[in-house]
Structure 1
Amino acid sequence: MPSLRWSPPPCRLPASLLISYIPDWAVTLASTLVWVYLGVTKPHYQLFSVDNKAISYPYVAPNEQTVTVPMLFAVSICVPAVIIAGIAFGLKRNLHDLHVGMLGLLLSVSLTLMFTNGLKNVVGRPRPNLLARCLPVSTSGPLRDPPQGLSSVAICSQTDMGVLNEGFRSFPSGHTSLAFAGMTFLMFYLAGKLHIFDRQGHSYKSFIVFLPLLVAAMVGASRVADYWHHPTDVFCGALIGFFTATFSYHQYYPVVFSPHCNRPYDPRKAPSPILPIHVAALSPLSGQQQQQQDSNGRDHIHLANSRQRTTTGTRSPVIDVHDDEEQSNNSGRASSTPLLNIEWNASTQSGYRT
């Protein structure tokens, strides 16, 4: 009979598990490199009118903005990373949760930065402070637009091409998209860990979960206040960050409506010939081995079936039996059959719990 005991969290992730996530890290790195390349590429220059009041605001230097670039990266990346690390490893002692949490956050940020810079260069929308950057001059009388036409970048006397190019990167707001990418991912992460939709009606959970979105919204509002973006730039930047973070989070975690939303998806490993990594991954059983499912959709099996299956292997796996707090919270009734969470580490020949 297999031993029944509590299994501690793994002290390290198996190499085979980390290797399985190399494509994800490659996408993250590639997106970051594309973002850097797009940032130094000359954008499209839209035509504009020197009489347009919407682009006649004063120029606020980058180091005088309400939210500077270092502050933006600290709020959008460092703060979520510290919170995720504190919960995943500091409280849960779960390296797999820590790994996919960091991976999902960086994937969200890198994809958002790439999409944002790509749109900035393609659209080339003038910023509200474009004329202050451009320093337009006229060689023939008063400064005005050509008859029945618009002015071009040719009338600008600005010698710093970095300042001038940034004047045509208004849409969408990069500050806003990055802030929403990091804060939205953090929002989903906290919502899952707190079981925001557990039907218990705890208001404090809602406040904690939606606080990151408030921070992101304040970052976006500062871009309008500093005359660096139009309101539509901020709105579209928020949409980009929100949807990219939503996509990235759900690559590694179930929806927040799931009773198991506090746990990441199973590690990517080939099943053991004796047992798969999780009971939920079991293929249809034969003979007397019957797989059952409780009211919340969690797969579980009878202890007798576990005993029968272990006799066919050369080594007895560790069966991790634990109280399922989510089962009691969500279903409101205890199961007559104990739930077994069977997890198998093929590289270390030991069971562990995620």
Structure 2
Amino acid sequence: MWHQQELRYIKRKGKRSNALINFDSDSVSLRLQMSVQILSWVIYVLGCDDKNLSSILDGFTLLAYFGTLEFWVWLLSCKMEGITLGAHTIRSHGAKVARVHLQDWLILLLLIAIDGFLNYIEPFHRFVSKDMMTDLRYPFKHDTIPFWAVPFFAGVLPLVVFSVYYYYRKDIYDLHHAVLGLLYSVLLTGVITDSIKDAVGRPRPNFFWRCFPDGKGVFDAITMGVICHGDAKIIKEGYKSFPSGHTSWSFAGLTYLAWYLSGKIRAFDRRGHIAKLCLVVIPILLAVFIGISRVDDYWHHWTDVFAGALIGTTVAAFCYLQSFPFPSEKEGWAPHDFFRMLAERNRPAASSYDDSYSLARRPDIESAPMTSENARENPE
């Protein structure tokens, strides 16, 4: 349903638009009418249609509201059935949530240290013979997607989405669990990827030019193994082909974002609105393009990219489902903690986390109408 504040906003925008354009409905061009119809269809397909939409908005008002951030935030959260979690903010519940999950944040710091150590040590130098150089002589090109851009796509971009959602919903539990799950997804993927890189030591497709930057190959007279004389750091990176770190990190962050978006817009609500998947597919498609760029740049074999995508996707799914239900579930839009708190409000004497959590899944609670009044919890 439309929130009262949003209704006042769009009515104000509508009056302003009508005053500037000074048209009535009879003089609207065919192109404008088609635009309004298409926009109304998109709103309906996404499951956000309101019975009073036609009486509230005329064509100009709808188009004026279409270009605002408020419209897209409403479109993202329109399936929330009027539940507002504004009682749980960083100021009121931030310290409490941090204390409860302190051990998770400490382990996160440990993962950072482990990943740094894995990048410092020397990887296994797999035997590379003269005959193998035929398949490892691809050009040594610069990265199409530089390494510094991967944390932006896999980390910063999802964090921006989480922050925008928090700005309008004021739910610290959703923000905290989304951020914590994302960081675990990326860091666990990094540790797994770098561990395999160091253990396997597979040479990159451009290994020849890393090993022999002058183009003159030097090989052992007995084993015919390579005797590299290039830069030590470049040679070290040349033994880290499998799996692709760019790909695994990208899929870890962007697949996690796809899970998050699918829960918020109820992409799998069994109503047949396939158009919702377009929004979910965008982050995954971006990760796919990053993986393809690694093959195009001759930094990885296609099997390296495939393995990296598999690792990142798997870890992202496990990390997301630790804090959020499956997006296909009725309560898939909110973290588990919300339903636990809802159960505690209905039964204050709940003795344990498991009891209250199971109570949140009871049919009588699921079927009970939830409004912004009874879904709030007073700040401590």
Residue of structure 2 equivalent to 1:77: 155
For the residues of structure 1 that align with 2:155 and 2:331, how far apart are their CA atoms? 26
Q: Does 1:180 pair with 2:251? A: yes
Residue of structure 1 equivalent to 2:290: 219
For the residues of structure 1 that align with 2:228 and 2:215, how far apart are their CA atoms? 9
Task: Tell me which amino acid in the other structure corresponds to 1:9.
Answer: A
Residue of structure 2 equivalent to 1:190: 261
Give me the TM-score of the superposition, normalised by structure 1: 0.73
Name the one with the larger helix percent: 2
Residue of structure 2 equivalent to 1:151: 225
- 8 A Cα contact 1:46 1:126, kept in partner: yes
Residue of structure 2 equivalent to 1:333: none
Task: Name which structure has the greater RCO, CA cutoff 8 Å, separation 6+.
Answer: 1
Spell out structure 1 runs of 4+ moving beyond 4 A: 136-139, 142-147, 275-281, 339-345
Percent identity, please: 34
For the residues of structure 2 that align with 1:181 and 1:56, how far apart are their CA atoms? 30
Give me the TM-score of the superposition, normalised by structure 2: 0.68
Give the 3-state SS of the residue equivalent to 2:170 in structure 1: coil
For the residues of structure 1 that align with 2:127 and 2:361, how far apart are their CA atoms? 66
For the residues of structure 2 that align with 1:34 and 1:98, how far apart are their CA atoms? 26
- 8 A Cα contact 1:254 1:265, kept in partner: yes
Query: What are the Cα deviations for residues 102-141 of structure 1, in whole angstroms up to 9, with x where unaligned?
Result: 11101101111111111110110000011100118999xx
- What are the equivalent positions in structure 2 for 1:17-96 lying under 5 Å apart? 17-52=97-132, 53-60=134-141, 64-87=142-165, 89-96=166-173
CA-CA distance at 1:283 after TM superposition: 9.0
Distance change in 2, residues 1:150/1:195 (3 Å): farther
Task: Tell me which amino acid in the other structure corresponds to 1:40.
Answer: Y
- What are the equivalent positions in structure 2 for 1:1-354 lying under 5 Å apart? 8-11=86-89, 12=91, 13=93, 15-52=95-132, 53-60=134-141, 64-87=142-165, 89-135=166-212, 146=221, 149-152=223-226, 155-158=227-230, 160-266=231-337, 274-276=348-350, 281-282=355-356, 293-294=362-363, 298=366, 322-323=370-371, 348=380
- 8 A Cα contact 2:86 2:376, kept in partner: no
Distance change in 2, residues 1:145/1:224 (3 Å): farther
- 8 A Cα contact 1:278 1:344, kept in partner: no
For the residues of structure 2 that align with 1:282 and 1:200, how far apart are their CA atoms? 30
Task: Tell me which amino acid in the other structure corresponds to 1:247.
Answer: F
Q: Which residues of structure 1 form unaligned runs of 5+?
A: 1-5, 286-290, 301-320, 325-338, 349-354
Q: Which residues of structure 2 form unaligned runs of 5+?
A: 1-83
For the residues of structure 2 that align with 1:213 and 1:292, how far apart are their CA atoms? 31
Give the 3-state SS of the residue equivalent to 2:323 in structure 1: coil
Q: How many residues align?
A: 291
Task: Tell me which amino acid in the other structure corresponds to 1:54.
Answer: D
Distance change in 2, residues 1:22/1:322 (3 Å): same
- 8 A Cα contact 1:38 1:121, kept in partner: yes
Task: Tell me which amino acid in the other structure corresponds to 2:289.
Answer: M
For the residues of structure 1 that align with 2:361 and 2:116, how far apart are their CA atoms? 51
Give RMSD over aligned pairs. Answer: 3.5
For the residues of structure 2 that align with 1:190 and 1:204, how far apart are their CA atoms? 13
Task: Tell me which amino acid in the other structure corresponds to 1:81.
Answer: L
